[in-house]
Every structure is written in structure tokens, then in C-alpha cells.
Structure 1
């Protein structure tokens, strides 16, 4: 019986290791498309994490506590497909939510594609692995749910389209 227990534990351990390696291997986490020049980019979480990252310490409407988010500034992601000049982008989420953002809005608020919160990966249960946020630390909690603020905060981000059509 003791040997059977150890074999079972070993089997469980192998399955856990394999599942972690499958999660980390090659699954696309973000697609970025620039329709004006035809450039597209598909990034895995591993590839995203080696790009220059930044931190924002803020609270968000769905979590009352101040937390530290790490991720990529959206302007940097857009520049990866040679789109330094644009009028509008579309951020699309897995839950079919999407938002159009003007270049002016993007430059004014420094939006971030966050992938960690307090140094832990943002899980699907936490609306991840990628969420679009901005620094809301100067906004009172009662004012955070104003439509012009929350409309551009996107959970489950999967695609960013630049110059890909009108609304």
C-alpha cells in the first residue's frame, strides 16, 4: 500500500509539471494587428514577460484595495507593429467586450496591459491573464464607476487592432 501511495504521488507530480509546461508553452495570449501596413504579431505570455515592463500602483473599481500591477504600456505594444501614428485602436476581449480608444485618450492616460498584480500572475478567475488598466489613484472611489472611466478598462484582453475599420 505504501508503494502504491508513492507511485500515485509521483504520477500526480508528473501531471502537475506537464500541465504547467503546457500552459507556458506557445499558447497565444495576445494578437496585435495593424491593418494599415499588414503587420501582425502573436505573443505568448512568456514573450510578453520579456518585453520592457512597468508598474502602476492603484486601485480599480472591481477591487477596493490599492494593488501593484506590472505590465506593458499600450503605446509600446502598438509600436511593435510599427504604428506610431494612428487615430484609433480597438481592444477586444475574450468575453466579446470591445472598446475603441482614440490616440488622444491613449496618450493622455498611459494605459497598461497588466499581467501581474502584487507580483502574482493575473489568473482567468481574476479576469486575466491580461487586463487593460490605467492609474486611477487620483480618482475618488465613488467617482471610479463613471462611464467615461470604466468603459476603457478591459478584462480578458486578447486582441488589439489598429487601423482596422470603423465602428
Structure 2
């Protein structure tokens, strides 16, 4: 466990930079144990700020769509690194107050994205947007389990780092 925490610390310490002041509508608030604050004690992101992070895409089958779909966005670990997050888990909170805990170990093991595009188009709220934490289900057989499906948070609006 100590090794995992050290790896997470190293992972999230690399590439830290001062967050810019948001100019536009905030779509994601990261609070809790964060060192890169740009609004009070929080690290906040506009969609433009999220698009400036390295973007990753994958195509995967999910329980929510009839056919494989393409998800695009920054890696969750990159968003947390930009916020200077340090902890053992996060709580991902949706617009409807759905809340799920995700262990930092998942961030090390899997390249989860904070998807902002679905099949190369912005996601509307009615389509699980504007942000959706998604695991690369088809890339890892072990992810085809309910525990990982429930950790995928759509309509993401806030992350609390613990």
C-alpha cells in the first residue's frame, strides 16, 4: 500500500504547473487535497482548460450504448495532476448528486478518461455529458465487472480528493 501511495504521489507530481484563472463557464471543480488552486481552495476547469491537457481516445463497448463508441478527453490522472491532487481515493460527483468513490490505484492501473467527446462530438447533459469518467473497458478484460461500471461517473461536475 505504501508503494502504491508513493507511485501515485510521483505520478501526480510530474508535470504540475500553476493552473490558469478560468475564463468562461466552469465545468469541473476539484476540491479536497489539491495544491494548484485557482478559485478559493479549489482547482476549477473550463472546457477550454480541459482541452489544453493531452487528449486521449479509445473505442469501447459499454452497458450504456448499443454499439462501441469513441470517447475522447484528458486522462483522469492528468486532470488530477493539473490540480496537484494527492490522496488515496476520489469521490466523483455528478450533476444529479450521484457519488462514487474511485481508488487512486485505478488511476495507476488504467488510462481512464474524463470524456468530453462522444464519437467526436461534445456530449449534451441528456447524453451523459458534458463530462464522463470512463474506463477503457475493451482494453482490459477485468474491467467488464459491475464495480468498474459503477465507478464510471457521467454528468461529472465535481471531484473531491481524499
TM range (shorter): 0.7 to 0.9
- C-alpha separation in 1, matches of 2:87 and 2:26: 25
Whether 2:133 is the aligned partner of 1:162: answer no
Larger radius of gyration: 1
Q: CA deviation at 1:149?
A: 2.2
Two-structure CA RMSD over aligned residues (Å): 2.3
For the 8 Å contact 2:75–2:111, the answer to whether it is kept is yes
- C-alpha separation in 2, matches of 1:38 and 1:149: 28
Question: Taking structure 1 as reference, are residues 98 and 118 closer, same or farther at Cα in structure 2, changes over 3 Å only?
Answer: same
Q: CA deviation at 1:146?
A: 3.8
- Structure in which a larger fraction of residues adopt strand: 1
Please show how residues 71-86 of structure 1 align to structure 2 within 5 Å.
71-83=73-85, 85-86=86-87
- C-alpha separation in 2, matches of 1:139 and 1:36: 30
2:45 is aligned, of 32, 43, 47, to: 43
- SS of 1:29's equivalent in the other structure is strand
Structure 1 runs, 4 residues or longer, greater than 6 Å off: none
How many residues align? The count is 136
TM-score (norm 2): 0.75
Gapped runs of 5+ residues in structure 1?
Answer: 1-24
For the 8 Å contact 1:61–1:145, the answer to whether it is kept is no
TM-score (norm 1): 0.72
Residue number in structure 2 paired with 1:87: 88
